[in-house]
Structure 1
Amino acid sequence: MRIGYVVATATPFEFVATLDPERPVSLYDYVVVDHVELDNASGELVNVSLLGQIVKLYRDPYSVKRDLPLYTVIQEVSSNILEVQIAKVKVLGYVLNGELRQPKQPPRIGSPVYLAENEQIAELFKVENGLCVGKLASRDVAVCLDINGIRRHLAVIAATGSGKTWFSVVLIEELLRRGAKIVVIDPHGEYVAIKDSIHRLGPFTARVVKVSKHHVGDLMYKIGVLDSDPEALANAAGVPPGAKKIRYAIYLAWSYAKKVRKATGEKVGLAFMKRVLYTAMRGENALQKLFQQYKGINDGAHKAEGDFPLSDLKQLAAKDRHAIFSALTYLKKLSRLGVFSSRSTPLSKLLGDITIINLAGVNEEVQDYVVSHLVNRLFQARVNHVRGLKGYQLPWPIVLFVEEAHRFAPPKALRKTRSYEALSRVASEGRKFGAYLVIISQRPSKVDPDIISQCQSQVIMRIVNPKDQEAVRESSELLAQEFLENLPGLDVGEAVVLGPIVKLPVVIKVRDRVLEYGGSDIDLTTAWKVDKTADVAQMWRRIFNSPPPPSVMLSASRMRLLHKKREGNKIVIKLLDGDREVDVVIEGGSPRCSVCGVGKPCSHVYKALEEALEVV
């Protein structure tokens, strides 16, 4: 169908067309222009269909100068003003011998512009075994992403409420169907609901690993305190950076515990560190007795590994018991979290087809510690497998979803996190070892630009904040200025997709999801709805001088309202009780049931009182 003509600024990359104002065309829709190109293989001119996408659309009055007519003039001649519809079209290329090629010549001025057929567009985005996440925003044409594009990492960026978590869940569904193994870093427990709905997708295993014992999870994630360093422990415990004596006390307890484990093989951990500090609180003699139990760890073969400063701990115990007491208090705080143990939870127990790391319930320091610890272990397990090294080997590539990525990988100048180093390593080296990132954030300006720039594929949904728009522009070489300008105008669930994951930048509408998640906004109408139970009970007491029996309330809950209305000073309510219709009339505060009679405390009356509260 012809919709316009090429009129200006025709280059091999874009052109301006005038469109029929009576034929509505959507932004991001696809058009075709008849074109002639030189086939390099044959050396002959060939007729091709040049495909383009509308990236800007506006209407203007024809030949009206800057000084527009007054309102009174317009009112008289408005029906006679000539209107033109102008479209800026980005040239996508033409298909020749099954390949998408870029034109070397611009389309001719005056060439007819046609609306592209669905089959032409579908051929353009055809992908074998793709990730089918939705359809074109302008057409009912499915769009499937190239699964191999995940190897270059992916960033999902959107303002709050634009649908980024929805898209992430849809992407998880598609990856699971293709056999991927997924780990989700979930700061708020939004993805936990996936476990209860995974059966809808197929026979997949979903595991929820919790960090706080008070939250939902199949098992706890445990970190061996001696597998890391004492500075990180102090940070996780909340020790102020300037509290050097407290930090040194933790370091001494940690160092001695590590010496003991190495010398004896005992599974010592946080409990042993607390024991060391508690003993130090009791004085130098008590501390000496503890040392005697592990006599020899600084002698002989172990001396070459570095002597433990026993004298420093004794000196601290003698001169600054307050620092030891404070350190002990902080370690008790770590114990209550339940995360730290004598040894880390084996990766083999954690991983299923999808593993959700539920970080809800702990502070950001602990979340940072856990993410750093887990990501490093996963990456090293992949390195071990690829290079045949000792240690736990992860035999299949893994996709790591990082929700709220700005928490864990902020710009280095803004804040330093432990998890930044782990995520940066995966971003720069992960593709060689089969460890891939999906970075998800509503604030791209607060995610480290080095990490975001490593995500060569991007899914960008509605963004309003100018700083975030600028961060997106700087991180993406493929995002055209027209797409950037239109980001605030995207509807919820619409996204610009670009990078190796698609053949060409495309605007999609995300499909419906199968799996559940808990990240949707709260419905305030429901959340603030008045609890009718107390009001109905009060009305019941006023009528029958006694509380409503539980059996009456239970029977009422099984009934269904057919209709209700107000007639003067009385309310008429029709109910369905099983297969029987029941009428209840409430007049002057006195109920009358068509089945049970006047003034009877029946379940029909209770249900009618519930409904009467909402009659306008």
Structure 2
Amino acid sequence: MRDALGIVFGETSTHSFKVALADARRARRRDYVKVWHDVDGWVLCQIAGITRSDERFTEERVFEQHEGEPESGERVVAHVEVVGSRGQDGVLRVPTIPISPGEKVFRADPELIKETLGLVKGELYIGKLDGHDIEVRLDANSFVQRHCSILAMTGSGKSYTAGVIIEELLEQDVPLLIIDPHGEYSSLRHPSEEMGLEEFGVSPKGYGDKITVLTPASLSVNPEADGVLRLRGHSLGVQDIVRVLGESPTNTHVGILYEAISRLRAERDTYDLQDIIGEVAASESKAKWAVLALLEQIADSELFCGEATPIQSLLKRGRCTVISMVGVKPSVQPLVVSIVCTELLEARKLGLVPPGMVVVEEAHNFAPERGFAVAPSTDILRTIASEGRKFGLGLMVISQRPARVDKNVLSQCNTQIILRVTGRVDLQALAKGLEGMTSELVEDIKSLPMGTAIISSSSLERPIMVRICKRRTRHGGASVSIVGSKAKSPRRRRAKKPVEAVEDAPPGAHPPDAQPPRGGVLSKLFGTRR
């Protein structure tokens, strides 16, 4: 009892009470404490705030003249919120009878914190509870099935945090497909050279044997890639083309496409994009030029030339496929995501690929909120977010602009990992769109230190503050120094494995030393292929 932090006083409720602290230096905001309850036993609580006052320095007395130093009149009061306690059935309950005034309050022991907050099990090691040496682990099945969002302002560690989670998913052999706009996730191949890993009990490790990097561009543009990504381009239907375009074509445009494709299907068993362009060009309608312009946009991407990459090769047990968009025009990137994710979801429904997770970096570009932009990938990402759980296809979205991410997607993310955000519009979006986001949490988010996140999840009883674990692999998204750094020579193309040594390379991902098939209308978009 001598270790008591303070004593409960004044009016109490079942959800909160006040504590007179004996020493302001022994407690701080967000500390976990415990107090005895006559019915429920030890109850876990958390300090929501601390106030200090001193009768010597009231507004009236600071203007008075004192002779000598008066005795200390300082009062330190902690405002405490009740978390609850678990009964024999393991269910967390909040007391139905308020805490008794006069009860002493103690620092909570680690076992009580872990048991009450739900930190006793989980395969995914995320980090440590802020202020404690308690590991935070999340259930892998729930994490993948119910989706996740990682949100933070630029430079606050969202990609680093995503890397930590991807490493943990790879440790569990979860199939992964990463949409990588900036080519930063190829660094998962290499072990970390960062200091401080021992604090979290992890060691440097590379996952080169589990990572395959594909590019929709060419190997000359993206030499970090293991092969090129090519999509199914034969026998496309009207809806396939409309979905790829991501726009709402007029009825006239749809009619032209329908007539062209109907003629092709009547004449032959298979046809390709160039055949469709030829048929549209032969149309007598003056509106054909707008349709041709749209078809040329698809052809320019070269996504449909050559042998298509089998969709089964993109999601494999114990493997991670990274689609690196380096060198791909921003207008083309959502087309790639739209087609790949659509085929992936259909393949999952048919059982052609195992259950897994799709990771989308810069999600505001691929699933933008209405009023900000339009992207062809928005609809399929909404569908995965709302229906993916039924078919075992999870979604992780990562963004620096929460306000610009489609709310239908964000609202389906059961696990929310939020690092520092300061933008007023983004904070408002977080407060409105995410469950359990109180005004107090919003204030905390504005002042989060680097490497610390607030995590809310169905596997946790309440949002918690976590120091994110150090990465095992090299971080590929680190900021580039501008001042005080020596100029570096251009990055060399990394050494490639011999073609015959790439045993697990996707069949349609053309080996780096093989000559990929040529094709496409305007190859100048991505440069000349090797």
TM-score, shorter chain, exceeding 0.5: yes
The structure-2 alpha-carbon separation of the partners of 1:398 and 1:262, relative to structure 1 and needing over 3 Å to count, comes to farther
Q: Secondary structure at the match of 2:83?
A: strand
**Aligned twin of 1:444:** 402
Which string of whole-angstrom CA distances, capped at 9 and with x for unpartnered residues, describes residues 298-354 of structure 1?
Answer: xxxxxxxxxxxxxxx1x35xxx6xx87887677566544322337642112333411
Asked if structure 1 preserves the Cα contact closer than 8 Å seen for 2:244 and 2:376, the reply is no
Asked if structure 2 preserves the Cα contact closer than 8 Å seen for 1:212 and 1:359, the reply is yes
Q: Secondary structure at the match of 2:476?
A: coil
Q: Secondary structure at the match of 1:107?
A: coil
The structure-2 alpha-carbon separation of the partners of 1:444 and 1:235, relative to structure 1 and needing over 3 Å to count, comes to same
Q: Give the alignment of 1:130-149 within 5 angstroms.
A: 130-149=123-142
Give the alignment partner of residue 123 of structure 1, picking from 109, 115, 124: 115
Q: Secondary structure at the match of 1:6?
A: strand
Asked if structure 1 preserves the Cα contact closer than 8 Å seen for 2:146 and 2:389, the reply is yes
CA distance in 2, matches of 1:127, 1:418: 42
The structure-2 alpha-carbon separation of the partners of 1:253 and 1:31, relative to structure 1 and needing over 3 Å to count, comes to closer
The structure-2 alpha-carbon separation of the partners of 1:420 and 1:78, relative to structure 1 and needing over 3 Å to count, comes to farther
Q: Which amino acid aligns with 2:337?
A: V
**Aligned twin of 1:219:** 227
Q: Give the alignment of 1:277-426 within 5 angstroms.
A: 313=283, 315-316=284-285, 334-341=298-305, 344-352=308-316, 353-385=319-351, 393-394=352-353, 396-426=354-384
Which string of whole-angstrom CA distances, capped at 9 and with x for unpartnered residues, describes residues 530-580 of structure 1?
Answer: 789xxxxxxxxxxxxxxxxxxxxxxxxxxxxxxxxxxxxxxxxxxxxxxxx
CA distance in 1, matches of 2:415, 2:487: 47
CA distance in 2, matches of 1:12, 1:427: 37
**Aligned twin of 2:195:** none
CA distance in 1, matches of 2:55, 2:102: 18
Structure 2 residue 437 is matched with structure 1 residue 475:
no
Structure 2 residue 95 is matched with structure 1 residue 87:
no
Q: Which amino acid aligns with 1:126?
A: L
Give the alignment partner of residue 260 of structure 1, picking from 247, 254, 264: 264
Give the alignment partner of residue 6 of structure 1, picking from 5, 8, 11: 8
Give the alignment partner of residue 25 of structure 2, picking from 13, 23, 26: 23
CA distance in 1, matches of 2:290, 2:428: 46
Task: Choose 401-410 or 14-23, whichever is displaced more.
Answer: 14-23
Structure 2 residue 272 is matched with structure 1 residue 269:
yes
Shift of 1:513: 0.6
Q: Which amino acid aligns with 2:84?
A: G
Q: Give the alignment of 1:546-585 within 5 angstroms.
A: none
CA distance in 2, matches of 1:34, 1:143: 26
The structure-2 alpha-carbon separation of the partners of 1:325 and 1:384, relative to structure 1 and needing over 3 Å to count, comes to closer
Q: Which amino acid aligns with 1:31?
A: V
Which string of whole-angstrom CA distances, capped at 9 and with x for unpartnered residues, describes residues 6-41 of structure 1?
Answer: 234521112222223353323322101111116xxx
Which string of whole-angstrom CA distances, capped at 9 and with x for unpartnered residues, describes residues 411-442 of structure 1?
Answer: 23443322111011111111111011112112
Shift of 1:197: 4.7
CA distance in 2, matches of 1:324, 1:363: 25
Asked if structure 1 preserves the Cα contact closer than 8 Å seen for 2:237 and 2:261, the reply is no
Asked if structure 1 preserves the Cα contact closer than 8 Å seen for 2:230 and 2:308, the reply is yes
Asked if structure 1 preserves the Cα contact closer than 8 Å seen for 2:43 and 2:82, the reply is yes
Which string of whole-angstrom CA distances, capped at 9 and with x for unpartnered residues, describes residues 150-190 of structure 1?
Answer: 22221111122221111111111111212211111112222
The structure-2 alpha-carbon separation of the partners of 1:159 and 1:260, relative to structure 1 and needing over 3 Å to count, comes to same
Shift of 1:363: 2.8
CA distance in 1, matches of 2:421, 2:127: 20
Structure 2 residue 94 is matched with structure 1 residue 102:
yes
The structure-2 alpha-carbon separation of the partners of 1:327 and 1:414, relative to structure 1 and needing over 3 Å to count, comes to closer
Q: Give the alignment of 1:211-250 within 5 angstroms.
A: 211-213=216-218, 214-215=221-222, 216-225=224-233, 248=253
Asked if structure 2 preserves the Cα contact closer than 8 Å seen for 1:478 and 1:499, the reply is no
**Aligned twin of 1:537:** none
Q: Which amino acid aligns with 1:52?
A: C
Asked if structure 1 preserves the Cα contact closer than 8 Å seen for 2:187 and 2:476, the reply is yes
Asked if structure 2 preserves the Cα contact closer than 8 Å seen for 1:461 and 1:494, the reply is yes
CA distance in 2, matches of 1:501, 1:96: 17
CA RMSD of aligned residues (A): 3.5
Asked if structure 2 preserves the Cα contact closer than 8 Å seen for 1:236 and 1:365, the reply is no
Q: How many correspondences in the alignment?
A: 468
**Aligned twin of 1:488:** 446
Which string of whole-angstrom CA distances, capped at 9 and with x for unpartnered residues, describes residues 268-303 of structure 1?
Answer: 32333455577x5xxxxxxxxxxxxxxxxxxxxxxx
CA distance in 2, matches of 1:112, 1:23: 17
Q: Secondary structure at the match of 2:483?
A: helix
- The TM-score normalised by the length of structure 2 is 0.78
CA distance in 1, matches of 2:142, 2:70: 52
**Aligned twin of 2:388:** 430
The structure-2 alpha-carbon separation of the partners of 1:457 and 1:262, relative to structure 1 and needing over 3 Å to count, comes to farther
CA distance in 1, matches of 2:69, 2:356: 62
Q: Which amino acid aligns with 2:101?
A: I
Q: Secondary structure at the match of 1:32?
A: strand
**Aligned twin of 1:576:** none
Asked if structure 1 preserves the Cα contact closer than 8 Å seen for 2:181 and 2:326, the reply is yes
CA distance in 1, matches of 2:102, 2:444: 28
CA distance in 2, matches of 1:483, 1:197: 35
Asked if structure 2 preserves the Cα contact closer than 8 Å seen for 1:61 and 1:84, the reply is yes
- Structure 1 residue runs of 5 or longer lacking an equivalent are 39-47, 281-312, 386-392, 533-616
Q: Secondary structure at the match of 1:341?
A: coil
- Structure 2 residue runs of 5 or longer lacking an equivalent are 193-203, 490-530
CA distance in 1, matches of 2:73, 2:129: 32
**Aligned twin of 1:53:** 46
Give the alignment partner of residue 112 of structure 1, picking from 94, 104, 128: 104
CA distance in 2, matches of 1:517, 1:261: 50
CA distance in 2, matches of 1:486, 1:149: 26
Q: Secondary structure at the match of 1:49?
A: strand
Asked if structure 2 preserves the Cα contact closer than 8 Å seen for 1:37 and 1:104, the reply is no
Q: Which amino acid aligns with 1:515?
A: T
Shift of 1:526: 4.7
The structure-2 alpha-carbon separation of the partners of 1:443 and 1:93, relative to structure 1 and needing over 3 Å to count, comes to same
CA distance in 2, matches of 1:414, 1:470: 16
Q: Secondary structure at the match of 1:272?
A: helix
**Aligned twin of 2:181:** 187
CA distance in 2, matches of 1:381, 1:517: 32
**Aligned twin of 1:177:** 171
**Aligned twin of 1:506:** 464
The structure-2 alpha-carbon separation of the partners of 1:81 and 1:492, relative to structure 1 and needing over 3 Å to count, comes to same
Asked if structure 2 preserves the Cα contact closer than 8 Å seen for 1:225 and 1:341, the reply is yes
**Aligned twin of 1:35:** 37
The structure-2 alpha-carbon separation of the partners of 1:412 and 1:117, relative to structure 1 and needing over 3 Å to count, comes to same
Q: Secondary structure at the match of 1:144?
A: strand
The structure-2 alpha-carbon separation of the partners of 1:152 and 1:9, relative to structure 1 and needing over 3 Å to count, comes to farther
Considering only CA atoms, is the larger Rg found in Structure 1 or Structure 2? Answer: 1
Q: Which amino acid aligns with 2:375?
A: T
Shift of 1:265: 2.8
The structure-2 alpha-carbon separation of the partners of 1:341 and 1:496, relative to structure 1 and needing over 3 Å to count, comes to same
Q: Which amino acid aligns with 2:366?
A: F
CA distance in 1, matches of 2:56, 2:16: 24
The structure-2 alpha-carbon separation of the partners of 1:139 and 1:106, relative to structure 1 and needing over 3 Å to count, comes to same
CA distance in 1, matches of 2:94, 2:310: 52
Shift of 1:231: 8.8
